[in-house]
Structure 1
Amino acid sequence: MSSGALPSRSLPAGLRRGLTFWRRSIQARVVASTVVLSAVVVSIVGWFLLQQTREGLLDHRVTAVVAEANNETTEARTRLVAAPGTDIDSASQQRDLVEPIIQRGATRGFSVVLAGPVGDTGGRIEDGGAESTPGLDTSSVPASLEAHFDELAPTAWTYTRIRSADAEGVTRVQPGIVVGSQVKLPSDGATYTLYYLFPLDEEQETLALVTRALLTAAILLLVLVAGMTWLVTRQVVTPIRMARRVAERLAAGQLQERLQVSGEDDLARLATSFNQMASNLQRQIRQLEELSRVQRRFVSDVSHELRTPLTTVRMASDVLHDARHGFDPAAGRAAELLQTELDRFEMLLVDLLEISRFDAGAAVLEAEDVNLVDVAHRVVETTRALADQRGVGVVVRTPDYPCLAEADVRRVERIVRNLVTNAIDHAETSGRGAEIVVQVAGDEHSAAIAVRDYGVGLAPGEAAMVFNRFWRADPARARTSGGTGLGLSISLEDTHLHGGWLQAWGRPGQGAQFRLTLPRRAGVPLRQSPLPLVPVDAEETVS
């Protein structure tokens, strides 16, 4: 695992279960993605409808309040025309003008501010002197609209925030529309501005009602979409899950399992094809099992049957071999060759019997604590004569501490002996190629032995084939040790019996290395090896 990855064990148990369910359930992912996409579409449509509703409500309200403000202004101008211009002062006329409008505004739900006169430096609302609805904060009239009426101008409107205080002094702020219109007082001949402030409470409530309705409809729609998606995907996922369970049973060896076929749709046809495939696989597997059984029986029977004549031939060969000095040179040499080939033939029979036991599943592991350092030294000593005959030097590199593993010492020694003799067979007879290095190492979880030679090496792809029965890297090379071609295959089976690894590396002209890795405790799965599979010197050569 890389350093940037988050270990799954650091996550809470509930979150781990949720992530596992999310990874394994295609139905959950389809439902979730459909709901998310539907939520996005519903949100866009809902936002568009709300914008259209808001604009429609505001447009209708603006038209209504402008018309009402114009009516109030027209009525005020009519009353001003009828009033004498010199009988009363301008202050009294302003009050007479605005008070009826304030009264009507109290019943109709709008407020009024009278400011002016236009062109007077003291005519701004903030300068005081303006007449207004009681409790209204005159700063509710925007300064931009006041600036518009600093001179004679037609009716204009804008949005604002209406601030007012009730009888208890509680301030209230609400959105609204302010409409400005100008009138001329006969008393002083000056032009004043009437500001009508209409709240948008009803529109705001209507918009909130529409929003709640759309939100409720969206939630119900998403629930409906999720339910429909779940039902639709269930019709597809349920047969797939049944097929997965049947496939798992087939993989576990229950070859009689079949899918239930109902209907004539695509899934039913898929189930029919799956059942046909399972039947064909079952038939072929049984044929292969029968062939394998016959093959194992044949090898076992032949091996056992050959032991009796081999014993007889061995006895006759021993007699001839012991008396070879009294023969002529040709007959004496023939007696020696006969003895050698009989030894090899006997080894082949022993290996075939061992292979047949592995094939039949009859191999038994007698595990005990084994020190791989002692094993390496014993194997090197027993193969010393063969190495000297080939002119090859064998070097053992071991740590200062014992490398213990719970294993069958007989089988481990056979593995290491096969690796060392194989390295001697493929080693060169001069230079660095005449050296073989046996390295032992261990850690708290595993122990390993690596056998390195500098011979012909392995071509790309041959590292996986080298453990095949009777396979040879170089068919033209003679076996110095008189091997049978089954040594590495038996070694691999012995390694699997221990739950270990037996791996090979090699490159043409750079030699090869075989690594045996065993767990310290039997039954504990391996995670890594204390020795690298690729030798350090080979890595330096390549780089």
Structure 2
Amino acid sequence: MKRFRPRLGGLRTRLVIAFVLVALISTVTATALAYRESRTAVLTRTQDAFQADFRDRVDSIAPDFDTPPDVRTLTTLADSVSSGLSGAPLVVARYHDLTASSDGLADRTRITPELRASVRSSGHTRFQRVEYRGEPYLVVGTPVTYDDGRVSGLEVFAVTSLRAEEEHTAALLDSVRGGLLPVLGLAALLALLAAGTVLRPVRELGRATRRLAEGDLDSRVEVKGRDELAGLAADFNTTADALQRSVNDLRDQEARARRFVADVSHELRTPLTAMTMVTTVLDEDAAHLPADAARAARTVSDETARLARLVEDLMEMSRFDSGAARLDAADTDLAQTIRGTLELRGWTDQVEACLPEGVRAVVDRRRVDVAVANLVGNALRHGEQPVTVTLSADTDRVTVQVTDRGPGLPPDTLAQVFDRFYKADSARTRSEGSGLGTAIALENARLHGGTIEAGNRPAKQGGGAVFTLRLPRHREVPDGRGTAADGGVR
């Protein structure tokens, strides 16, 4: 029995891969969502706090400045606002075409035209996140209005760096990434544990199935739990029970049928013996009987002989079925045995024999005679001449090949040609044979440890059916007569 071996594409591997992929996708998704939400929260908190401080600072300082201001006044305003904010960010003050900043050397392009237009048109505080030379910045702008709501024309902008916030969120992302491998390892471990739990009953079911396939009809699995696998195990046990009952019923029926055939065959032998004696007398006196009586006597004689052959064949098959058939093996000259088979049945003139001398094997001569006779008789009845018998041998086995020049065997009959009572022509209700000849030949070959193969010769070689009998040359010889290895066979 082949042992179970896990493969790369096995169910365990697929379960582990699935678990790890699910964990990986879940972790990556959760990381991306957490990063996005944390980044948004940090930036929102920073920009809200900065905007509130910026507005408060502007609201507290702007009323002290007169309008219209000059560049010096705008510069003072920008410096005052910047000094009052955390980190002293860049502050730019604008009044119509006049512009001043808290840092005269700073680049003012971070204040985009879009933001300035939005502040001017809305009349409220606006912000924008921009990137400058690879660094993130928050730009906030607000208009200065009078207490009665009139627009003063003065606009103040502040630019602060968001690098600290970006570093904070990046550190958070790095920490999440660092926990990714442990999470995947834990997922793989859990997958292995889950796979073991799931696959254990599957493996038990597989082993029970293999035992059942090998003929152990008592193979069952233990039903544990109430899940789908438990249901599958219960279904397997139910199926095995039904199969065991069916097999036992079939075995009982087969045994009864074999006993019936054996009993009927045995009971027929006694009356057939008497009938054979009578038909022998009728055959001898047929020449002295009227034509119709003589024809009837010969018909009875032929049918009695055919019935006797059928009974003998049935008894032979019953011996094979019951295991009572035994070999009487001895060192045998196969060429001489096959020539005797042909001469005994009067086939010498109908069969071409290629029988090299000196081919010997330890076989049961009578059973080889029966097997060869059945194959040759089958070729003579259903094939066309010439029928050829060829003997060959190598170190370990001998081969007897019987060929004819008939139409050959239909491809769909090759697998059934050794079945009992099988006849290629299903419309033919009677024939000279019993339909057991090839089956008996095969059983005799198997008893020797050999086999018979049926096939067809290619049309370019003349066509026809080919039956090949193969038997081992070396076999234990009873009564201490040695073996082929001991020199009992040449």
Normalised to the residue count of structure 1, the TM-score between the two structures is 0.53
1:401–1:237 distance in 2 versus 1, CA, 3 Å: farther
Q: Give the C-alpha shift of residue 33 in structure 1.
A: 5.6
Q: Give the C-alpha shift of residue 267 in structure 1.
A: 0.6
Tell me, what secondary structure is at the counterpart of 1:346?
helix
Structure 2, unpaired ranges of 5+ = 36-170, 477-490
- Whether contact under 8 Å (1:436, 1:454) holds in the other structure is yes
Q: Residue 420 in 1 paired to residue 373 in 2?
A: no
- Whether contact under 8 Å (2:383, 2:408) holds in the other structure is no
Aligned to 2:225: 263
Aligned to 2:410: 459
- Whether contact under 8 Å (2:12, 2:195) holds in the other structure is no
Q: Give the C-alpha shift of residue 331 in structure 1.
A: 2.0
Deviant stretches of 4+, over 6 Å:
34-39, 213-217, 476-480
Q: Give the C-alpha shift of residue 214 in structure 1.
A: 7.7
Aligned to 2:400: 449
1:21–1:330 distance in 2 versus 1, CA, 3 Å: same
1:447–1:479 distance in 2 versus 1, CA, 3 Å: farther
Q: Residue 395 in 1 paired to residue 352 in 2?
A: yes
- Whether contact under 8 Å (2:362, 2:475) holds in the other structure is yes
Q: Residue 295 in 1 paired to residue 257 in 2?
A: yes
Q: Summarize the alignment of residues 84-483 of structure 1 with structure 2, pairs less than 5 Å apart.
A: 218=181, 223-383=185-345, 385-386=346-347, 388=349, 393-398=350-355, 402=359, 404-428=360-384, 434-474=385-425, 482-483=432-433
1:216–1:373 distance in 2 versus 1, CA, 3 Å: farther
Take 2:242 and 2:271, find their aligned partners in 1: how far apart are those partners?
Answer: 44
Q: Residue 497 in 1 paired to residue 453 in 2?
A: no
Structure 1, unpaired ranges of 5+ = 1-16, 53-206, 429-433, 524-543
1:478–1:439 distance in 2 versus 1, CA, 3 Å: farther
Take 2:192 and 2:358, find their aligned partners in 1: how far apart are those partners?
Answer: 62
1:424–1:267 distance in 2 versus 1, CA, 3 Å: same
Aligned to 1:194: none
**Matching residue's letter, 2:371:** I
- Whether contact under 8 Å (1:460, 1:507) holds in the other structure is no
Q: Deviations over 1:82-123 (max 9, x none)?
A: xxxxxxxxxxxxxxxxxxxxxxxxxxxxxxxxxxxxxxxxxx
1:342–1:234 distance in 2 versus 1, CA, 3 Å: same
Take 2:5 and 2:368, find their aligned partners in 1: how far apart are those partners?
Answer: 44
Q: Give the C-alpha shift of residue 306 in structure 1.
A: 1.0
**Matching residue's letter, 2:366:** R
- Whether contact under 8 Å (1:499, 1:522) holds in the other structure is no
1:34–1:336 distance in 2 versus 1, CA, 3 Å: same
- Whether contact under 8 Å (1:395, 1:436) holds in the other structure is yes
1:240–1:398 distance in 2 versus 1, CA, 3 Å: farther
Take 1:373 and 1:363, find their aligned partners in 2: how far apart are those partners?
Answer: 25
Tell me, what secondary structure is at the counterpart of 1:323?
helix
1:29–1:417 distance in 2 versus 1, CA, 3 Å: farther
Q: Deviations over 1:224-281 (max 9, x none)?
A: 4443232222222211222223223333444233221122211111111111111111
Question: Which deviates the most, 281-290 or 224-233?
Answer: 224-233
Q: Residue 21 in 1 paired to residue 5 in 2?
A: yes
Query: Aligned-residue CA RMSD in angstroms?
Result: 4.0
- Whether contact under 8 Å (1:34, 1:226) holds in the other structure is no
**Matching residue's letter, 2:272:** L
- Whether contact under 8 Å (2:16, 2:192) holds in the other structure is no
Q: Give the C-alpha shift of residue 395 in structure 1.
A: 1.9
Q: Deviations over 1:464-521 (max 9, x none)?
A: 11112222223577988x3221111111222222332211113898321111122344
Aligned to 2:471: 518
Take 1:32 and 1:269, find their aligned partners in 2: how far apart are those partners?
Answer: 24
Take 1:252 and 1:406, find their aligned partners in 2: how far apart are those partners?
Answer: 33
1:454–1:33 distance in 2 versus 1, CA, 3 Å: farther
Q: Deviations over 1:355-403 (max 9, x none)?
A: 11222222223334445444433333334x2475xxxx4222345762x
Aligned to 1:154: none
Take 1:34 and 1:299, find their aligned partners in 2: how far apart are those partners?
Answer: 61
1:28–1:410 distance in 2 versus 1, CA, 3 Å: farther
Tell me, what secondary structure is at the counterpart of 2:412?
coil
- Whether contact under 8 Å (1:372, 1:449) holds in the other structure is no
